[in-house]
């Protein structure tokens, strides 16, 4: 157990773009998710299913649960890259609380990303190249608006992909992650406009229903179309 903790800590320090030491809470959040990832490996997810990253891009094959897990892995790569960049150089207009929030959330997303990478093992797609040219990372409004888009999209993506999972263990784990993404979405919405964290009416584009009190659920093709402008790597989809 001690060796595992040291390994996780090394990985965390490697990912950090800060000069100072990491907070205890961030480390525990990352370590907890990593432990869950190792449990998923033990459950039998680490198999060579032929998912490879080629010169033609990354392939998501939705013929089984592993395709869904790789789909989630792709989205978590996008979110992690975004939050790491924001946390490394937050907008000058950010308050101390907002800076602390983005520092914490970067480790949530790193944990989610590493969760899927370790769980999938040789079945994982490769690292995706992102395209953040449309984001002004020095402007608080641009950063918050992008964070809102990513979090709302992430919630809708997990909700929409859940029906494709046949293994109940994976389904429960996906539920645990999407609930965290929803917390992020609520916080960011309140930073943009206080008191709007529960306003589902503004989420119609993501499939939310204010009248039924339900969050959005989008199919992978719709999610990938919305995420596409932020990803340089070509995403090939089969058996959707």
**Mean pLDDT split into 10-residue runs, the chain, 240 residues:** 42 36 42 46 44 66 94 97 97 96 94 93 95 97 95 91 92 91 87 63 50 72 93 93
pLDDT value, residue 183: 87
pTM to 2 decimals?
0.75
Contact 216, 159 (CB under 8 A): yes
The domains of the chain are located at 26-122+136-238
């Amino acid at each position: 157990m001690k060796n595992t903790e040291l390994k996780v800590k090394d990985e965390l320090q490697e990912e950090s773009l800060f000069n100072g030491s990491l907070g205890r809470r961030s480390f525990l959040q990352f370590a907890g998710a990593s432990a869950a990832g190792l449990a998923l490996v033990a459950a039998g997810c680490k198999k060579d299913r032929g998912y490879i990253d080629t010169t033609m891009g990354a392939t998501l094959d939705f013929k089984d649960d592993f395709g869904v897990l790789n789909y989630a892995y792709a989205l978590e790569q996008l979110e992690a890259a975004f939050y790491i960049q924001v946390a490394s150089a937050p907008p000058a207009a950010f308050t101390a609380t907002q800076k602390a929030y983005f520092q914490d959330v970067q480790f949530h997303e790193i944990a989610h990303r590493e969760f899927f990478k370790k769980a999938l093992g040789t079945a994982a797609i490769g690292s995706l190249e992102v395209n953040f040219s449309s984001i002004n990372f020095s402007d608080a409004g641009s950063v918050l608006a992008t964070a809102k888009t990513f979090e709302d999209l992430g919630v809708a993506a997990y909700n929409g992909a859940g029906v494709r999972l046949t293994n109940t263990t994976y389904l429960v784990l996906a539920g645990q992650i999407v609930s965290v993404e929803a917390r992020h979405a609520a916080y960011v919405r309140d930073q943009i406009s206080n008191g709007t964290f529960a306003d589902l009416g503004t989420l119609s584009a993501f499939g939310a229903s204010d009248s039924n009190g339900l969050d959005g659920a989008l199919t992978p093709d719709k999610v990938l179309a919305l995420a596409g402008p932020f990803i340089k790597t070509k995403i090939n989809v089969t058996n959707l």
